[in-house]
Amino acid sequence: ETGVTQTPRHLVMGMTNKKSLKCEQHLGHNAMYWYKQSAKKPLELMFVYNFKEQTENNSVPSRFSPECPNSSHLFLHLHTLQPEDSALYLCASSQDLADTEAFFGQGTRLTVV
């Protein structure tokens, strides 16, 4: 079983749909992250959680809503998305906040139609 697991791997949704991305880490880490990766662009940090508390919201539109019920699980709730939100969404975790290496899941490829 991989350290960081994301589901689903692929998601196609309409602009009026509501869906959620799930991330689970089995590494005993305290910090979890959501990143967005669009074609030919650097990884963009979206949210950071440390011990279940949100410590960073990188000016992300409110149509993206994170939830961290415990240190092992992270969700990204999606509603009324736009086609430009289509991207690879990556979850990561690290032992501590950012000064230790982060480990990534395989990502969710999201397509908004």
Sole binder of another protein in the list 1, 16, 41, 59 (CB under 8 A): 41
Contact 104, 90 (CB under 8 A): yes
C-alpha 20/C-alpha 65 separation (Å) is 9
Cβ proximity to another protein, 44 vs 80, nearer residue:
44
Helix (H) or strand (E) holding 112: strand 108-112
What is the residue type of 113?
V
CB nearer another protein, residue 38 or residue 82: 38
Enumerate binding residues for another protein (CB under 8 A). 4, 6, 31, 33, 41-43, 45, 48, 50, 55-56, 58, 88, 90, 92, 97-107, 109
